[in-house]
Amino acid sequence: MACSSSTSLPLHICHGNKLTMIINRSHAVLHSIAISFLIYYRAFFLFHQPTPIIIPWLLLFISELLLSFIWFLGRAYIWRPVYRTVFPERLPNDDKLPAIDVFICTTGPDKEPTIGVMNTLLSAMALDYPPDKLHVYLSDDGGYAITLHAMRESWSFARWWLPFCRRFGIKTRCPEAYFSRTENHDSDSKNPDNFMVEREKIKEQYVLFKERVRRAGQESKFKDKGVYTATDHPSCIEVMEENSKEGLLEDQTIEMPLLVYVSREKSTSQFHHFKAGAVNVLLRVSAMLSNSPYILMLDCDMYCSDPTSARQAMCFHFDPEMSPSLAFVQFPQAFRDISENDIYDSEVRSAYTILWPGLDGLKGPVLSGTNFYIKREALCCHSIKKDIDLRELKDSFGPSNEFIKSLRQDYKKPNLNDNGEASNMLLEEAKVLASCSYEDHTKWGKEVGFLYDSVAEDFLTGFVMQCKGWISSYVAPSSSSRPQFLGTSTTNLNDLLTQGTRWGSGLVDVALSRFSPLFYGSSRTSFLHSMGYAELSLFPLLYCLPLWCFATIPPLYLLNGIPLYPEVSDPYFSIFLFIFLSSLSKHLHEVVVTGRPISKWINEQRIWMIKPVTCHLYGSLDAILKKFDLRKASFLTTNKVADNEQIKLYRGGKFDFRTSTIFVAPLVTVMLVNLASIVGGVYRIMFTGTDWRKMFGQVLLSFYIIVMNYVVIEGMVLRKDKGRIPLYVNVLSIVFSLIFLSLGSIIISN
């Protein structure tokens, strides 16, 4: 697949790896045959078992069926993975490039440090793109005065930073990342002496900028612009403007992107739909002020590492064959705070190296919340035709005539450089569009903009978009190039499991909603593509049930000397062993071919076992309770404040167990149950005459669980630092495990 430019050279190419596809498909066939034998064994012998073990046998059978089903859905990713290469240097001249609006969302400085947010904002302003076609919007959902003040300071500093980046060809355009470099200054300058003088001058300005922001943060009391509290305040919109000529030569002008602060109105009496609601406000406000046909969405900690990302995205949007149906171009998330021994799998390797390329070979990857260039038309369902009834339009888009005008193909972009009545009118209209009652009785969040049916609004919106016929593309950086975007990830257990609970809840929300990929997608998109989405939406639910079962039932029956698997001499035992080793070896192969060490495989296996018994369980329960209106929707912002002690533990490869008891207690309980069971089971084999061949499968399973999760035992017994598991959690877990084993043994014996 390729796109031709004016020079008849392709703007992008798409290629696959035939060897990888052959390996993937061959493994899928062999694994499927083995699963078929397993299902036959369980089904045929189910009612030939003694009465006491029919229930555990049935539970294991159901768990194996669920894991087989989720595995089957996941084969969509490996069927036809593709990889893309772009050639942004072949794009037409700058005057032919379309305008881009950049959306950055933040909730507040407590969990999202203001300096970090401003660095993301500055990196977006410094993109290698025509400044007059770049418009940056920051949504401050809490309406914090410090954020507004920091934006004004950022605008002033940008008048130093942007010319410096352009003049010397700076590639790292996030100031904090750039000035933290010790050796390579990342410059194309041919005059190093002049460059170093300028660099020191800009660094001095950056230090002053940070100091002003920090001082303002200490003095801020939520009094600016009438903003009162984070949950109850009026809308506030401010376009940043030049108010000083400091540092400029006479008659010197600097081309600057449009920079706009947006704080939507909030009221404690209304539900605001979290990030999806904030993005929909930005869609409406930006339509009044810039109305660019393309939008870049960024998390507030995800800065632009490669300034050419916009041009890379345009390589697809300029493709005459792809562009009419192309909704968005997705880039991967890369993280600057990941250690070599990534104990929490914070890199999320499988998503960005296996799942997304696999979906890209079907109809396109998932909309991933950040790092994507999306077509405004795909979100707002425009451009509208002139003969559509105005009342019908207002029922969909709300009462604003000006906003409805912006949806028309012949709409003329507003001129904000005019400080007269027209400019003031646009700002006033934008405030109306940011009011908390504007969406009442409209289709916002239902059919227009980001959808509100799930806290995983990005996943749901992208899926529905693709069911309507849109496609997407995925562009990962080559091994020799820099990532397009860099951010921060979770580097402690508490943040990992809190984030996992929110993600799990949002994904299961979709699985249980009217947009369930199993049913909604099967008739609207390709079978394989709907399989991939179904796997993503169901995996938190369908993994937590089987893994809880495997972590408790086989060990319980091992302790009581009752086999649940075929004995070693039985041919069917080789089927179970093959499936177990096949799954492990396929995962190991994926880790190795993506350039990671074996320790990465071990860490991913461990996290794969930890999440289902903790955050996936709670996330699934949360989604089910919301489905039956037994719980209100909530959104827990991922903490982005670095803690030095937590970072030290993470860098040292040690788990930080300072998290909620509801997360740690299940882990310790499972470990105690398996430790007790393997000790009791081995004792029975050695001293009571129990046939080891019948119990070997259960011994192997418990041994594997214990070995892979040795860090829990380490946290319980061996460690003395602050990140160890607290004594009261150990005691509580001992009580839980004793109750479970005692009651289970009583039930089995009766």
Cis peptide bond prior to 383, omega within 30° of 0: yes
Q: Say if CB 716 and CB 668 are below 8 A apart.
A: yes
- Specify the amino acid at residue 376: R
- Specify the amino acid at residue 743: L
Other beta carbons less than 10 A from residue 598's beta carbon: 10
Q: Is 457 annotated to bind ligand?
A: no
Opening angle at CA 668, ends 664 and 670, nearest 5: 120
DSSP secondary structure string for all residues of 440-483: TTS-BTTTBSS--S-S-HHHHHHHHHHHTT-EEEE-PPPTTS--
691 belongs to the catalytic site: no
Buried b (16+ CB within 10 A) or exposed e, 547-584: bbbbbbbbbbbbbbbbbbbbeeeeebbebbbbbeeeee
What's the distance, CA 78 to chain centroid?
20
For residues 451 and 457, give the distance between their C-alpha atoms in angstroms, rounded to a whole number.
6
Cβ-based burial of 167 (10 A; exposed 0-12, middle 13-18, buried ≥19) = middle
Q: Is 299 annotated to bind ligand?
A: yes
Sign of CA dihedral 246, 248, 252, 255: negative
Q: Say if CB 663 and CB 493 are below 8 A apart.
A: yes
Other beta carbons less than 10 A from residue 649's beta carbon: 23
- Per annotation, catalytic residue among 458, 495, 622, 656: 458
For 294, list phi and psi in degrees, rounded to 5. Answer: -130, 150
* C-alpha dist (Å) from residue 352 to 357, 455, 512: 7, 21, 25
- Per annotation, catalytic residue among 101, 128, 141, 319: 141
- Specify the amino acid at residue 306: D
* Helix, strand counts (H, E) of the chain: 25, 14
For residues 428 and 392, give the distance between their C-alpha atoms in angstroms, rounded to a whole number.
24
Q: Is 112 annotated to bind ligand?
A: yes
186 belongs to the catalytic site: no
Cross-sheet strand order for the sheet of 334-335: 303-304, 485-487, 334-335
Q: Say if CB 549 and CB 57 are below 8 A apart.
A: no
Q: Say if CB 347 and CB 597 are below 8 A apart.
A: no
Q: Say if CB 582 and CB 576 are below 8 A apart.
A: no
Q: Is 111 annotated to bind ligand?
A: yes
For residues 205 and 549, give the distance between their C-alpha atoms in angstroms, rounded to a whole number.
59
Q: What are the residues facing 10 on neighbouring strands?
A: 4
Q: Are strands 258-263 and 134-140 parallel, antiparallel or unpaired?
A: parallel
Q: Is 586 annotated to bind ligand?
A: no
Q: Which residues are annotated as a binding site for UDP-alpha-D-glucose?
A: 111-112, 141
Q: Which residues are annotated as a binding site?
A: 111-112, 141, 275, 299
Name the residues annotated as catalytic: 141, 458
